[in-house]
Amino acid sequence: MDREPEELQFLGFLGIYKEAYKIINSCFKLFSQITLALILPLSFIFLAQIQISDLIFTKINNNEDALEYTQPGSPTQDKILNKLSSEWLDFLLFKAAYLVFALIFSLLSTSAIVYTIACIYTAKEMNFKRVMSVVPKVWKRLMVTFLWNFIILLGYNTLTLLLMVLSILLIGPSPVGVIVLIILFILYMIGLVYISVVWHLASVVSVLEEVYGISAMKKSRALIKGKTWVASAIFVSLNIVFVGINVCFGKFVVHGWKLGMGARAGFAILFFVLLSMLILLGLVVQTIVYFMCKSYHHENIDKSCLADHLEVYLGEYVPLKGRGVQLEEFYA
């Protein structure tokens, strides 16, 4: 980062993206290597599961349609039911495998990018081999943070669903009921964005500091104060692009039969590259947001101390901890 620590607090929406572009451009080769090793597989896994899920569901829908025209208890019905059971089992197993591999590559990618940017921030010498040697030791901390976020989201979604069902039962299908549901949905989306922003920042905290899990979530929540709107705007803008890529991939690749195989393959490559670039940008941006929040709260990371704790000592990753790396306060 070319900026001084105290200047980071003044970064706005566009400033964060500009800073991310500068960082990626400054170490383009290293970021390209990380992208090829971790982010490209993650993008491929995500897009491939869309295509494969659609193929499986097409078979399921065809068999369900055929089931409507068979006589109950007939051999044909039994055969179709067996096929449906097998196809649903295949779908669930495929989804489980997808979630496992997507989670692994997501955590590994986050670890690599956060560690790399921290090295850039401290002007620390690094290379691809060094980054990849640290990554496997860091992602376990991220896993704990992810599990806590999953628990929080599960509770949040369950509570929201109960409130919506309760409002329907108490108010009924009336104009007032519709308005209440709309208000609940808006509040739900606001809360969902906030939880997601806290989690993404907590992922950076888990890599660069000694806390992880629920402690990292609490630390992230404290850091985000004062910069919630900027961080949320960043998160929403990235997810809008993500949804756009997802929708376009479904339209032009998954359901783009009329375009021909050549055009579909071209679109598939295009969206694959765009998604990979988006994931890289998103990970860089969330790390910059971390340093911005530190700066906003007048907390300056001692660069030399951070560099020491980014070292791989005796083959083990040493996270930031103790007073030696406690963030010092400064006032602009």
pTM confidence score:
0.86
Summarised one tens digit per residue, pLDDT across range 261-300 is 889 999 999 999 999 999 999 999 999 999 899 888 877 6
105-109, 170-174, 194-198, 206-210: least confidently modelled range: 170-174
Average pLDDT, the chain: 85
E strand or H helix at 144: helix 128-171
Dihedral angle computed from the Cα positions of residues 9, 229, 109 and 115, in that order, rounded to the nearest 10 degrees: 20
120-126 average pLDDT score: 77
Residue 125 reports pLDDT greater than 80: no
Residue 326 reports pLDDT greater than 50: no
The conformation of residue 35, written as its DSSP 8-state character, comes to: I
Summarised one tens digit per residue, pLDDT across range 220-263 is 999 999 899 999 999 999 999 999 999 999 999 998 888 888 89
- pLDDT bucket at 186, cuts 50 / 70 / 90: very high
pLDDT of amino acid 329:
42
Query: What number of CA atoms fall less than 13 Å from residue 28's CA on the CB side?
Result: 3
* 3-class DSSP state of 300: strand
pLDDT of amino acid 312:
43
Q: What are 316's strand-pairing partners? A: 313
Does the CA dihedral 168-169-173-176 come out positive or negative?
A: negative
Question: CA angle, corner 192, sides to 180 and 182, nearest 5?
Answer: 15
pLDDT > 70 in the chain, percent: 88
pLDDT of amino acid 311:
56
d(C-alpha 151, C-alpha 170), whole Å: 28
Residue 135 reports pLDDT greater than 90: no
Say which residue the tokens 């104060």 belong to. 225
d(C-alpha 42, C-alpha 47), whole Å: 9
d(C-alpha 244, C-alpha 282), whole Å: 15
pLDDT of amino acid 3:
61
b/e for 182-220, b at 16 or more Cβ within 10 A? eeeeeebeeeebbbbbbbbbbbbbbbbbbbbbbbbbebb
Residues 193/232, Cβ–Cβ less than 8 Å: yes
Residues 309/318, Cβ–Cβ less than 8 Å: yes
pLDDT of amino acid 68:
78
Q: According to DSSP H, which parts of 174-226 are helical? A: 175-208, 214-224
Residue (of 112, 92, 89) closest to 42 by Cα position:
112
Residue 124 reports pLDDT greater than 80: no
The conformation of residue 298, written as its DSSP 8-state character, comes to: T
